[in-house]
Structures are given as C-alpha cells and as structure tokens.
Amino acid sequence: MKRYFITGLLIWVPLGITAWALKFLISTMDQSLLLLPSSMRPENLVGIYIPGVGTVLTLLVVFLTGIFTTNIIGQRLVIFWEGVLWRIPVVKSIYYGVKQVSDTLFSSQGEAFRKALLVQYPREGSWTIAFMTGYPGGDVVNHLTGEYVSVYVPTTPNPTSGFFLMMPRSDVIELDMSVDAALKYIISMGVVTPPNGKKPVEPQAALLHPQDSVSSASSDKS
C-alpha cells in the first residue's frame, strides 16, 4: 500500500507544482491587461474573464519592443531613456545593476551559465556541480596570481540561491554535460542522474592497439 501511495505522489507532485508555476506565471503576465482602458479588457468585451490573454499581450509587447529597438530610431530612444534614468540616484543603481546581470545572462556571446563545472566545495574532497559565469575583473585581477574563473555554486533544491567564487582554472573540471541536465541533477538532489558523458570506444581503437585485441581474443579462447 505504501508503494502505491508513493507512486501516486511521484505522478501528482510534479504535475501539481507545474500547474502552480504556470498559474502563477500566467496570472502575473495577465496584469498587463491593467494597462488597457477598462472598456477594452476581455471581461468587459466578452463578459467573462479569459486567462492567458494578458500573457499573449505581454509576449506581443516584448516581441514588438525587440523589433523596434533594433532600428536606429529605437536605439536612440533607448539611449535617451537610459540617460534620463542615469540622472535619478536610486533608480540608476537598481536599473544598471539589473541591466548588467540581464545582459550577461541573455547575451548570446557571453560565457555566463554556458558551461557546467565540477568543483571541490565546501572543502577539499567534497565535489559539487557549479556553473562558469565569466572571469574576474576590476581590481580583483591585480590580487590574483594565475588564471582564475568566476564560478557560481547553486544550492539544492533551489538553484536560484548559491555562492559566487573565484577559483583557479586548474581546480575546476569542465563537464561534458548540458546546463539543463546539470540543473536537473542539482534540483533533484542527485536523484535524477544525467546520462554518462563518456563516448563509446570507436572501432579504430583496435587498430591503434592490436596487442590488446590479440590478448583479449586469446583470453576468450582460453
């Protein structure tokens, strides 16, 4: 009976959490409907509340913003708007701090969260999965000897919190593992193990080491 109950939990818990996350995301994005006049909102036009309409509106606004800011006029408006924000003391610190993080994370040319690493943390002999976020900069590099990398060590099961470390390049091991697989491994606390990254031995290897093939064949005959 216990086994059946646990099996049921394994089915419903992921579904429930997924449904809750989607509901929270959709309800949050639906708040964009508040920007419309009350006469243009779906509940006033149709007579009922339709979830997801605000989500479509939000995605459409983001898409159109991306199209608009790729031309010269849009870029000049962005520069003008950022210049206005730069003159507001508190807003300037928040806006540019968030902008630097988002530019680093979402840039297609950046190295942030592009590589999964194996590092020793919190002590030597204990290993955990981390992500490469870049390289040390500023005055920090004047106090480091050798090549260092910036590393983010996430906590489990919540990878949004963690620790920022600067480690010698020689102390980190780059994994043959995608970032998605590494995140699943962390969130599941090691339960959902990713597939082995080792490549199968190619047939040409036997030609490079014929003595191994002869010895294995003789052992099989014996």
pLDDT of residue 78: 84
Residue 104 domain-assigned (yes or no) = no
Residue 26 domain-assigned (yes or no) = yes
pLDDT of residue 104: 63
The structural domain count of the chain equals 2
**Phi, psi (5° rounding) for residue 128?**
-150, 165
pLDDT > 70: percent of the chain: 83
The DSSP call for residue 175 is -
Residue 100 domain-assigned (yes or no) = no
Q: Is the pTM of this model over 0.95?
A: no
Show the beta-strand stretches assigned E in the chain: 116-120, 127-134, 148-154, 162-168, 173-174
List, for residues 179-216, the tens digit of each pLDDT value: 888 988 998 888 888 877 554 444 444 434 444 444 44
List, for residues 25-80, the tens digit of each pLDDT value: 888 888 888 878 877 887 788 777 777 888 888 888 888 888 888 888 888 888 88
Pairing of β 162-168 and β 148-154? antiparallel
Query: What distance in Å separates the CA atoms of residue 198 and residue 169, rounded to the nearest whole number?
Result: 22
Nearest to 183 by CA among 109, 113, 133, 120: 113
Question: Which range marks the domain in which residue 19 is found?
Answer: 6-89
Task: Report whether pLDDT(100) > 50.
Answer: yes
